[in-house]
Structure formats: C-alpha cells, structure tokens
Amino acid sequence: MPEQKIGEVVKFFAKPSVAAVKILEGELRVGDHIKIKGHTTDFEDQVISIEIDNKPVEKAAPGQLVGIKVKDRVREKDIVWKIVE
C-alpha cells in the first residue's frame, strides 16, 4: 500500500506508551493507519487517539506537535508514515 510521510517522532513516553510527533505534511486523523519506521523501529498501528496540549482532537495538521498512543516503543527521529488506502 502507498505510504505518505506525515511526521517525525520528537519524544517517547514509556509509561503511557505515547509518542510526541511533529506533523510535517499532510493530515493525521483518528482511525488512520500509520507505520513508524526508524533505525530499529518498524511496525504498523492504528491511531486511536490524538492529543494536543493534553486535550483530545480528531485531526492534526502540519506544524502541530501531537501525542499519539502507540503499541510499541519508538525512538526520536523515527519517521511516521500514513498508510494511504
């Protein structure tokens, strides 16, 4: 399936398993399927929640810093791809 680069991981919070992601291009919405890929990271996940300043939102646009719940550990500078169906 085609993938669109959407952002980059800025920080990872282990306890809630949340990635802080800087949205670089495109739009990320709740329900989207994403792939996170980096030096040692490579998995697909579905976006179940997006938060900006600890408040839930439905979508994120370029330039925003968002928190998304992830199922596995991610690292700084990992690339977030949106899987386009």
- Rounded to two decimals, the pTM is 0.94
Residue 1: its pLDDT value, please? 78
**In CATH, what number is assigned to the domain containing residue 24?**
2.40.30.10
Q: Which tokens in the block code for residue 51?
A: 């938060």
Would you give the end-to-end CA distance of the chain in angstroms? 6
Q: Is 63 left (phi over 0), alpha (psi -120 to 50) or beta?
A: left
Residue 9: its pLDDT value, please? 98
Residue 3: its pLDDT value, please? 95
CA–CA distance from 76 to each of 20, 22, 54, 85 (Å)? 9, 11, 20, 27
Domain coverage including residue 17? 3-83
* Single-letter residue type at 75: R
> For every one of its 85 residues, what pLDDT tens digit does the chain have, with 9 covering 90 and above?
799 999 999 999 999 999 999 999 999 999 999 999 999 999 999 999 999 999 999 999 999 999 999 999 999 999 999 999 8
Q: How many domains does the chain have?
A: 1
Residue 85: its pLDDT value, please? 80
